[in-house]
Structure 1
Amino acid sequence: MEHLQPVRQNEFTGLFEGYNVIFITAEGFSGYMIDPELTPTLYQMSTEGFVFKNFYTPLHFTSTSGGEFQNLTGLYPRAGFPVSLTESGKRSTYLPFTLANALNGEDYTSIGYHFNQNMYGRELSHPNLGYEWRQADACGRPVTKETNESGREYWPQSDDYMVEQTFADYVDREPFNIYYLTISMHLPYGYDSNEMSRRNWEQVEDLPYSDKTKAYMAAGMELEKGLTHLLEDLEEAGIADHTLIAMAPDHVPYSDLDILEELAGRDFGSDSVETLDEENVDLDVYRNTWILWSAGMKEPVEVEKICSQVDILPTMLNLLGVEYDSRLLAGTDVFSDQEGMAIFFSRSWITDQGTYSRYTEEFQPAPGVEMTEEEQNVYVENKKYVADCRLRLGELIIETDYYRKAVP
């Protein structure tokens, strides 16, 4: 740790200090589905706030839980069992830098919601992250799922219904820090297999896509509706201008990359990365949208730096004016002077300087970047070491409870 230099504060430090926070991990979401006419709220929030033009959501172990771990801890999960987020709850690992644990010290109300049964041990992990945790079971205040007239629970549940059922819980408890784990875009994608796809089918049935891709889009419409109603509720309550909303995926639809190929209009080289085999996959399949937006922003801020899910937490801590030790996270504040880097499960990586393939061991400089062969060799060896260290950091912190030893 003594060899690492902490990042400096910058012009964005404390920009949203004291704001309410709503953080959304969006199940199976890809920015390739955003459309200005079909999803106007998603389009507004992704183009009128901070616009991260080179944001990636690399798939790591355990998909949803691994994605949550990156989003919420700024660390990469262990590349195998035990599952990092689950283990952190079982061990009651000290995690002082999570949004909830950090903001609770500033008298925030921190509540997390997931309209599904208990999975991945969230009944332990999410309270340990600092949230009053509410899911359909195994918690102090279970949520009530939406059902049809016969009492049958819908699958998947509605993100719009989740917002409708929960907003009153926290609107009068400012400052609040709310976490939503959505579920409407959970696979499988089909008119007969996904209630949200069926519910919104009329809006997508004339799109020039396969039925599976239409079903994916239709499921995403339920998230769109939920976000639309959330913004309306915040506006009506008179608190939209001092509420910061963040949204990032847990993972792309890893078993259905053909959906993303249709939406993006390009070939990504594989129909699935479910086994985490990235040898023949175009890494742009992980290119995604990170929403970071507040109604109080006067104009968009474009960010060219390479970034990924682990960078979300340090960036938000900086924006909220929360002190943290930047040396103890795998991610970095995107507004710092550190170089951007996205690291993939295969140990391939992308930086502002170029792309390295672990399979071919070749480095392709980014457009406009010039290096001598010697400079390139030194750069690649350095970044390979950095990638290995960052991928290992989360596992070591969970296994040794390192923060409890290192952080006052």
Structure 2
Amino acid sequence: MRYKYQYIIGFIVLLGVIFGLRLMTENNQFIYTLSGWFLGIGSLGLLGSLYMLYGKELWTFLLKSKDIWLILASLILMELLFVIKNVDHLYLTYLFGLIISLFLWVIIYLSIPKTYAKIFCVFTIIMFGSYVIGQDIYVRIFHDYFTFKEALTLREGVESGQSMYLFNWLHPVILFLMISTVWIYLKNMVVTHVIWNRQIARKITTSFLMVFLLIMLNAKIPEPDQTDLVSDHYLYQTVYSRQRFAERFGFFHLMGRDLLDSFTPRWHSKKDIFEINQYFESNPKAYSTHDQVGLFEGKNLIFILAESYDESILDEVLTPNLYRLKTEGISFSNHYTPVFQRTTSDSEFIFNTSLIPSIEDGPTVTVFKQNSYNQSLAQLFKDKGYLTQAFHGNYKEFYGRHIIYENYGYDAFYGQDELNLTPETGRFDHIFFDAAKDKILPTDTKFMSFIITFAGHSPYTEEHDVAHTHIDFVNSIYPNDDPSINYYRATQVELDHMIGNLFSSLEDKNILDDTVILLSGDHYPYTMPQEVYQSFTGITENHLKQRGNLYLWSSDVTPITIDTLTSSYDILPTLNALFDLGGDPTFYVGNDAFIEADRYVLFKDYSYFDGTNHHFLYDLKETSDQSRKISDLYQIYKKILRTNYFK
């Protein structure tokens, strides 16, 4: 036995030397890569030596513990089926991460009383099977993994995803595994239980620490000039990307880590406030002084957030009013609308605050709905004496809008119930507008009205009542296009009808010349089958799909196309200048579109687009001044939310 311990100690020393060599040769790519391979091979050797040390005892124990065999086999099979279908890359740390998560599960199972162990076992199988199916559905629709923190918006997620489920082979297989495993376990298995003693505890602790060491040794570490986002340790600490976490530490491990995170509060300190203050003092932004400042001062604003509007379907015949907005006003042709975790509500958040939505802490609209946002768009207009109101055809409690919009500074939010709409009529933008137009367009005060349209929401099938209403018109113009595209077009025809009614109402109330209309989509139609969308638009790269639209219309504006790189973050700072609202631009992520400034689009996966290249902060070979600046930006604005900085 002694020589086996010596063998393990020798392996650990060797791995330590290789690890140290790797740290010292980060600037030599060949040696760095070679040492990484040796480290991986050595880690597998250490794992083998652990088997040599405890393998015989382990097999003897497992042969007597058929219940553990059954559960581990079921969990591993469900894991592998999901990984095969949804994960593109796996890393060596995946093996060790999966082992350690299963190891922890076995320790818990063996330690608790038998009655509770049975409950724990059944719960684990049902939970993980449901998790696999749920994540598979979520990935297809949202191209990301959900987090348990999003249970706070579960109702909204279910309603948004209605009619978008597509059957695939994985789901019945997982259901069969779940049901058969639970049935066999409850009918035939004897629960294994261990009475712990010092010897068993030593062996368990030694094995656990060895596997944990292997994770640490093989985890990616940042080079001296790289940001923390390169680090797998930072990834494990924050789980900022669930996809990357699954690739590196295992899918079952992700579920356990996510559960733990859901019950662990995020802490902040006075140091965070100090760092935010220091950041703003070191990075001030000057007030705009260009010729367009005050161009719309004193005018009303109608801000239209157009559900799923994508300019690829813009058509002079099909959507003449959208076409009018684009061609008779200021059109930003290089505009991006980054899609964050809670899609529409996160776009609303960016439009209203020019802050970065929550990436690590759960849905912004639930976790941070009680925050103060006194530098918001609505608050700036309100401070200038405007009536600020928001409108939507769905019920106002959806995404907690009735709370967060009050904290944005809106005087009122009118939803389905307040406008006497039904769930059916609320989906029709023109019916919604007719019900709300006298509130949207008051004639006795200056106003800023924020409209969230509804008709453009998926599904893009005959089941969509709004699309069904306009599909014959669309098919008459595009008889040969894919049905998904035409049903999608039909939803945007409804939006166009609403805009036509808006123009007519502004003229009827004699306030057309006193009103500015802004329209921007909240995201591209990501719920459409992606092969259809990609074939129709010719766009396959995810960041380019998020190229959006921004139109600013006023009767006295000379039509112009602006090709400056802009994004959702830039809307508030731009309106701040055009309406001369007096907001401090230092606090905003974005910049006025009419000034010279660094331009980039920030995405939810800690990547950014500079107009030419798409950079991933966690995958940069070298860190530039710009990427370090953007990394700092992400960290500061995360702390702004956590500390409720503007309270």
Common fold by TM > 0.5: yes
| Other-structure match for 1:278 | none
| Other-structure match for 1:236 | 508
| Other-structure match for 1:35 | 315
Does 1:184 pair with 2:455? yes
Percent identity over paired residues? 25
2:322 counterpart letter in structure 1? L
| Other-structure match for 1:276 | none
TM superposition outliers: structure 1 runs of 4+ over 4 Å = 359-363
1:322 counterpart letter in structure 2? L
| Other-structure match for 2:431 | 161
Shift of the 293–392 alpha-carbon distance from structure 1 to 2, 3 Å rule, reads: farther
Q: Which has the larger radius of gyration?
A: 2
Distance between the aligned counterparts of 1:44 and 1:12, measured in 2? 22
| Other-structure match for 1:255 | 527
Alpha-carbon distance, 1:362 to partner: 7.0
* 8 Å CA contact 2:388, 2:449 repeated in 1: yes
| Other-structure match for 1:79 | 359
* 8 Å CA contact 2:425, 2:431 repeated in 1: no
2:446 counterpart letter in structure 1? P
User: SS of 1:2's equivalent?
Assistant: helix
Describe the superposition over 1:99-154 as per-residue Cα deviations: whole angstroms up to 9, x where unpaired. 211111222111111111221111100111122111135xxxx22214xxxxxx41
2:496 counterpart letter in structure 1? E
User: SS of 2:451's equivalent?
Assistant: strand
1:232 counterpart letter in structure 2? S
Shift of the 396–227 alpha-carbon distance from structure 1 to 2, 3 Å rule, reads: same
**285-294 vs 395-404, which deviates more?**
395-404
Alpha-carbon distance, 1:393 to partner: 4.1
Map 1:56-95 → 2, pairs under 5 A? 56-89=336-369, 91=370, 93-95=371-373
* 8 Å CA contact 1:70, 1:310 repeated in 2: yes
Distance between the aligned counterparts of 2:634 and 2:517, measured in 1? 27
Gaps of 5+ in 1: 147-152, 269-280, 364-376
Q: Give the counterpart of 1:348 among 592, 599, 607.
A: 607
| Other-structure match for 1:98 | 376
User: SS of 1:178's equivalent?
Assistant: strand
Select the structure that is richer in helix: 2
| Other-structure match for 1:7 | 286
User: SS of 2:420's equivalent?
Assistant: coil
Alpha-carbon distance, 1:233 to partner: 0.9
Shift of the 56–159 alpha-carbon distance from structure 1 to 2, 3 Å rule, reads: same
**156-165 vs 380-389, which deviates more?**
380-389
Shift of the 245–390 alpha-carbon distance from structure 1 to 2, 3 Å rule, reads: farther
Distance between the aligned counterparts of 2:378 and 2:372, measured in 1? 12
| Other-structure match for 2:588 | 329
Distance between the aligned counterparts of 1:360 and 1:103, measured in 2? 39
Shift of the 162–58 alpha-carbon distance from structure 1 to 2, 3 Å rule, reads: same
User: SS of 1:112's equivalent?
Assistant: strand
* 8 Å CA contact 1:155, 1:194 repeated in 2: no
Shift of the 230–262 alpha-carbon distance from structure 1 to 2, 3 Å rule, reads: farther
Describe the superposition over 1:160-195 as per-residue Cα deviations: whole angstroms up to 9, x where unpaired. 11211111123323211101111101111111x211
Distance between the aligned counterparts of 2:634 and 2:314, measured in 1? 30
* 8 Å CA contact 1:74, 1:311 repeated in 2: yes
Shift of the 85–12 alpha-carbon distance from structure 1 to 2, 3 Å rule, reads: farther
Distance between the aligned counterparts of 1:262 and 1:307, measured in 2? 26
Does 1:398 pair with 2:641? yes
User: SS of 1:77's equivalent?
Assistant: coil
* 8 Å CA contact 1:156, 1:194 repeated in 2: no
* 8 Å CA contact 2:287, 2:584 repeated in 1: no
Does 1:284 pair with 2:544? yes
* 8 Å CA contact 2:458, 2:464 repeated in 1: yes
1:99 counterpart letter in structure 2? L
Distance between the aligned counterparts of 2:335 and 2:427, measured in 1? 28
Select the structure that is richer in strand: 1
Distance between the aligned counterparts of 1:99 and 1:289, measured in 2? 19
Distance between the aligned counterparts of 1:300 and 1:8, measured in 2? 25
Gaps of 5+ in 2: 1-279
Alpha-carbon distance, 1:403 to partner: 2.0
Distance between the aligned counterparts of 1:253 and 1:155, measured in 2? 22
Distance between the aligned counterparts of 2:615 and 2:481, measured in 1? 32
Q: Give the counterpart of 1:26 among 295, 298, 306.
A: 306
| Other-structure match for 2:631 | 388
Alpha-carbon distance, 1:212 to partner: 1.1
| Other-structure match for 1:216 | 488
Shift of the 288–77 alpha-carbon distance from structure 1 to 2, 3 Å rule, reads: same
Map 1:107-146 → 2, pairs under 5 A? 107-117=385-395, 118-131=397-410, 132-137=412-417, 142-146=418-422
* 8 Å CA contact 2:301, 2:517 repeated in 1: yes
Distance between the aligned counterparts of 2:546 and 2:536, measured in 1? 13
Does 1:310 pair with 2:569? yes
Distance between the aligned counterparts of 1:319 and 1:87, measured in 2? 32
Distance between the aligned counterparts of 1:259 and 1:29, measured in 2? 16
User: SS of 2:281's equivalent?
Assistant: coil
Alpha-carbon distance, 1:156 to partner: 6.3
Distance between the aligned counterparts of 2:575 and 2:554, measured in 1? 13
1:401 counterpart letter in structure 2? N
| Other-structure match for 1:369 | none
1:293 counterpart letter in structure 2? W
Describe the superposition over 1:31-56 as per-residue Cα deviations: whole angstroms up to 9, x where unpaired. 11211221111111112211212101
Shift of the 308–292 alpha-carbon distance from structure 1 to 2, 3 Å rule, reads: same
* 8 Å CA contact 2:384, 2:581 repeated in 1: no
User: SS of 1:349's equivalent?
Assistant: strand
* 8 Å CA contact 1:306, 1:350 repeated in 2: no
Alpha-carbon distance, 1:67 to partner: 1.3
Flag the structure with more relative contact order, 1 or 2, with Cα contacts below 8 A and sequence separation at least 6: 1
Distance between the aligned counterparts of 2:512 and 2:449, measured in 1? 14
User: SS of 2:646's equivalent?
Assistant: helix
Alpha-carbon distance, 1:282 to partner: 4.5
Distance between the aligned counterparts of 2:398 and 2:635, measured in 1? 24
Q: Give TM-score scaled by structure 1 length.
A: 0.83
2:407 counterpart letter in structure 1? N
Distance between the aligned counterparts of 1:233 and 1:323, measured in 2? 30
User: SS of 2:520's equivalent?
Assistant: strand
1:403 counterpart letter in structure 2? F
2:436 counterpart letter in structure 1? T
Shift of the 321–267 alpha-carbon distance from structure 1 to 2, 3 Å rule, reads: closer
Distance between the aligned counterparts of 2:472 and 2:287, measured in 1? 51
Does 1:225 pair with 2:497? yes
**97-106 vs 252-261, which deviates more?**
252-261
Shift of the 48–262 alpha-carbon distance from structure 1 to 2, 3 Å rule, reads: farther
Alpha-carbon distance, 1:313 to partner: 0.7
| Other-structure match for 1:172 | 443
Q: Give the counterpart of 1:196 among 439, 453, 466.
A: 466
Q: Give TM-score scaled by structure 2 length.
A: 0.53
* 8 Å CA contact 1:330, 1:393 repeated in 2: no
**381-390 vs 236-245, which deviates more?**
381-390
User: SS of 1:200's equivalent?
Assistant: helix
* 8 Å CA contact 1:75, 1:310 repeated in 2: yes
